[in-house]
Amino acid sequence: MEEALKGKIGSLKKRRISAVENVEGFLKVISHKNKAINAFLHVNEAAVEDAENVDKKLKKGASGRLAGLAIAVKSNINVTGLPITCASKTLEEYYGSYDADAIRKIRAEDGIIIGMTNMDEFACGNSGETSAFGSTDNPSAPGMIPGGTSSGSAAALAAGMCDLALGSDTGGSIRNPASHCGVVGIKPSYGRVSRFGLIDSAMSFDQIGAMAKDAYGCALLMEVMAGRSDYDATSVNAAVPEYTAHAKKTGQSIGNLRIGLSRDFERLCTDKRIYGMISGAAKSIAAKTSSKIVNVDLKYVDLSVQAYYPIQYVEFFSGTRKFDGRRYGKRIEDSCGEEVLRRILGGMEISKAEYQGTYYRKALMAKRLITRDFEDAFKKADVILLPTTPVLPHKLGAKITDLRTVYAYDAFTIPANLAGICAGVVGAGRIGGVPVGLQIMAPAFREELLLQVMAACEKPGGSDGGGENGRA
Ligand code: GLN
């Protein structure tokens, strides 16, 4: 809830609570609940000491924007001295030797790294079940998958184990678990946040992004992390707006928007109850903000999944060549799980000279068509609203043998990565007791607009505050 985080920041500043108390409170929850939920793979033993140092700064009135807040980090982002395993046996023994740009910026604002979270192995998956260290439970719908691949980060937030969390999103890995766990998450535009220190899944899609209980928390973390870095040539030199100023909860701050819905997404949505909830949310936000709903054509989005996977496989294959057993732990092919191996072998095959024209180049062409589709759509609409996943999460451990069914989970999240635009998720309500996230897309580098709309779409009770039938 916006007030909850904002209120806590105020209390820390006024020293009604100390950073140490805040961190110790979370450590207690983690020690009680983590065994069952498996959100954290590692807790930072230096967290309390770090908090003591932040308390000294708070006392002097010279603290940063994240002073005393506990931040959970996905296990594919480098943090000095902590195990950066990518939830894989391959990197079981690998400890970060430097801070990723995002971590360096968080520390500079006095945020406290509370621990490393569970995830799908090497960020390949969408259920949180491919981790070599066991799957994560969904605290908001126990027994169901939390979504992936940033499963541990979403679950840690939902279980009250941290204030904020970092995830990474290649094809939906922030938005999908945010939706299933009833929290809020944002995938920034490609190039908005430095990828330096993030272990690649597919370098042309990956972005580190923010996860929180509300849009305000995401805005705060984005404000700290965004911006160009000399260490990442793909990061873009564009001014970083004051995102927190835009993430006001009231609908009054926006008006006369053109809110896009697309029949092309409606068609792809297998569970009609989900689409019904999302279009209902769009109507209610339109009414609240005196905005109008427009239909946008996205005629190539049904190619998204077919375009994404060949590119992801090839880039993943290339990115994993460094895990040859000589520099970082074990040789990946000897130590990884089934899904990771599938992608390595598939990527190797697709990138063979004789197949490049058949798969890889065709996929790049489809990517271009989808990007253009969005450029046109954003001439008609300021933002586009759609579901996060076409179906509800399945039960943990349920065997889904058809790969196409597994990959179809990503049909609504992948398009934003292909087009390089920004997209976020806030809670829309619950169906059958399970949280359902509303996804909002905005043009590239319009995170301030995105966060503004996300905040306006949030329910007063926080992201997961909605009842069974969604919004009023
Ligand atoms: N599910 C997609 C994949 O497995 C996306 C994962 C991600 O965003 N890291 O590639």
Domain regions of the chain by residue span: 2-457
pLDDT band at 252 (very low <50, low <70, confident <90, very high): low
Task: Specify the residue for token string 């007063």.
Answer: 460
CA of 120 to the centre of ligand 1 (A): 9
Ligand 1 midpoint to CA 174 (Å): 9
Mutate to test the pocket of ligand 1, among 74, 119, 120, 124 (most ligand atoms within 8 A of CB): 124
Q: Check residue 48 and give its pLDDT.
A: 98
* Alpha carbon 241 to its chain's center: 20
The answer on pLDDT for 249 being more than 80 is no
Q: What is the pLDDT of residue 472?
A: 33
The strand pair at 434-442 and 422-431 is best described as: antiparallel
| Ligand 1: centre distance to CA 399 (Å) | 18
Distance in angstroms between the alpha carbons of the first and the last residue of the chain: 18
304 lines ligand 1 (CB under 6 A): no
> Which CATH homologous superfamily contains domain 2-457?
Amidase signature (AS) domain (3.90.1300.10)
| Most ligand 1 atoms within 8 A of CB, residue of 119, 121, 170 to mutate | 170
Ligand 1 atom index nearest CA of 308: 10
Tokens of 261: 């819905």
**Would you state the pLDDT for residue 1?**
40
Q: What is the mean pLDDT of the chain?
A: 94
128-183 pLDDT tens trace = 999 999 999 999 999 999 999 999 999 999 999 999 999 999 999 999 999 999 99
Our answer on whether the CB atom of 123 is closer than 6 Å to any ligand 1 atom is yes
Best residue among 120, 173, 389, 414 to mutate for probing ligand 1's pocket (most ligand atoms within 8 Å of CB) is: 173
Residue 289 region by backbone torsions, left for phi larger than 0, else alpha for psi between -120 and 50, else beta: alpha
Distance 387 CA to ligand 1 centre (A): 17
Residue 202 C-alpha to ligand 1 middle, in angstroms? 9
- Minimum CA distance residue for ligand 1 atom 10: 124
pLDDT digits (tens, 9 = 90+) for 405-436: 888 899 999 999 999 999 999 999 999 999 99
Asked whether the whole model's pTM tops 0.75, one would answer yes
Q: Which two tokens stand for residue 345?
A: 């072998």
Decide whether any atom of ligand 1 lies within 6 Å of the 410 Cβ: yes
pLDDT above 70 for 341: yes
Please write the tens of the pLDDT for every residue from 265-295: 999 999 999 999 999 999 999 999 999 999 9
* 3 pLDDT higher than 90: no
Q: What angle do CA 129, 131, 134 make, to 5 degrees?
A: 75
pLDDT of residue 467: 53
- Omega within 30 of 0 (cis) for the link into 85: no
Residue 170: CB within 6 Å of ligand 1?
Answer: yes
